[in-house]
């Protein structure tokens, strides 16, 4: 006979290995979780699976699956929608936005982390507004200003529009990283004769690499997926992939649905790749801990 173990409260455990597996279904919370997650994954499979199947199908009308399978629609979409130029524009806009945002955001975050001044909390709140407020609310006035200065419809205008939410995002991401670095490290470097540029490049930059990497990847994902600001300021030669997809769906004329679905699959695939990279290499909690561990401790620290 299996040994009977009496648990606190009078419950008994027979010690049989299958006992926990037989009891999980008795809890209503487990069933609720199964139903909710099952509903989510079924919808996710439909959202991704239907365009994917249509982009690979020859014809698909009344049957559960297409009549045949082919990959020709991807080549057709690449030629029809000039996706080579669109992907190049998307990559160029994303890289420029990330580079400018990191340069401006890191220096601004350093000033906010190292300097105290009246109204500092109000300034931090202002940095939060472009992130919390829907982009369309300030996108229309922003586009009006860019059109007035003949910047809308150009690559420069798209980059400037995307910098509005990206720079505050970098500032809010980098400020905690900089605050974790002991200011006495910079003071010691200056006492040894290091100039400001050397302190920034040789002392602070190595410690800030995890934070800069986190901010860069997150801004990259945000820029590639940004629709409202890019749509309001992009022209025929400065459309990113998400805007080109919108125009392909709603433009006048006859469009092959399979080609549009192939374009949607390409966009979804590129976003999934970026999200996998972000989740693989960016973890804010671990990065902050890493900054603390990499910061040299001074004598007398607790």
- Please report, rounded to a whole number, the percentage of residues in the chain having pLDDT higher than 70: 82
Compute how many other C-beta atoms are within 10 angstroms of the C-beta atom of residue 169. Answer: 19
What pLDDT digit, counting tens, does each position of 246-284 carry?
988 887 566 788 888 899 899 988 888 888 887 776 665
pLDDT, tens only, 3-12: 444 555 444 5
Whether the per-residue pLDDT at 1 is higher than 70: the answer is no
Indicate the range of 38-47, 92-101, 147-156 predicted with least confidence: 38-47
pLDDT of amino acid 150: 92
- Taking a C-beta distance cutoff of 8 angstroms, is the pair 219, 98 a contact? yes
Region of poorest pLDDT, from 48-57, 143-152, 157-166: 48-57
Is 142 within 8 Å of 183 (Cβ atoms)? no
- Using 50, 70 and 90 to split pLDDT, how confident is the model at 147? very high
Element of type H or E holding 6: strand 5-6
Task: Note the pLDDT of residue 289.
Answer: 47
Judge whether 162 and 93 are in contact, CB under 8 Å. Answer: yes
Residues 86-98 pLDDT 10s: 999 999 999 999 9
Q: State mean pLDDT over 129-145.
A: 91
Q: Higher confidence at residue 286 or residue 254? A: 254
The hierarchical CATH code for the domain 76-294 is 1.10.3720.10
Indicate the average pLDDT of the chain. 81
Confidence of residue 230 (pLDDT cuts 50, 70, 90): very high
Is it the case that residue 27 has pLDDT exceeding 80?
Answer: no
Confidence band, pLDDT 50/70/90 cuts, at residue 189? confident
CA distance 206 to 73: 47
pLDDT of residue 290: 45
The 8-class DSSP code of residue 4 comes to P
Examine the pLDDT at 19 and tell me if it is beyond 60. Answer: no
The number of CA neighbours under 13 Å toward the Cβ of 256 is: 21
CA dihedral 261, 38, 282, 138 (to 10 degrees): 60
The model's pTM: 0.76
Question: Where along the chain do its domains lie?
Answer: 5-70, 76-294
């Amino acid at each position: 006979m299996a040994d009977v173990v009496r648990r606190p409260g009078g419950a008994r455990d027979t010690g049989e290995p299958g006992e926990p597996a037989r009891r999980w279904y008795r809890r209503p919370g487990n069933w609720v979780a199964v139903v909710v997650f099952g509903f989510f994954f079924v919808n996710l499979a439909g959202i991704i699976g239907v365009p994917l199947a249509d982009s690979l199908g020859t014809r698909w009308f009344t049957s559960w699956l297409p009549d045949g399978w082919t990959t020709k629609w991807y080549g057709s979409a690449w030629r029809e929608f000039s996706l080579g130029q669109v992907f190049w524009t998307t990559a160029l806009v994303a890289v420029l936005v990330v580079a400018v945002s990191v340069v401006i955001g890191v220096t601004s975050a350093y000033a906010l982390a190292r300097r105290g001044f009246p109204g500092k909390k109000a300034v931090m709140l202002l940095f939060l507004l472009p992130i919390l407020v829907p982009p369309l609310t300030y996108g229309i006035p922003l586009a009006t200003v860019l059109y007035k200065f003949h910047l809308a419809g150009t690559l420069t205008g798209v980059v400037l529009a995307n910098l509005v939410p990206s720079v505050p995002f970098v500032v809010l991401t980098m400020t905690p990283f900089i605050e974790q670095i002991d200011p006495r490290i910079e003071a010691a470097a200056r006492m040894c004769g290091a100039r400001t540029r050397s302190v920034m490049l040789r002392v602070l930059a190595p410690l800030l690499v995890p934070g800069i990497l986190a901010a860069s990847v997150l801004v990259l994902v945000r820029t590639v997926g940004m629709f409202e600001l890019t749509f309001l300021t992009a022209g025929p030669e400065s459309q990113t992939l998400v805007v080109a997809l919108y125009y392909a769906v709603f433009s006048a004329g006859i469009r092959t649905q399979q080609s549009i679905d192939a374009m949607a699959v390409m966009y979804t695939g590129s976003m999934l790749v970026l999200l996998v990279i972000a989740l693989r290499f960016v973890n804010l909690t671990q990065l902050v801990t890493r900054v603390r561990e990499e910061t040299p401790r001074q004598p007398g620290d607790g």
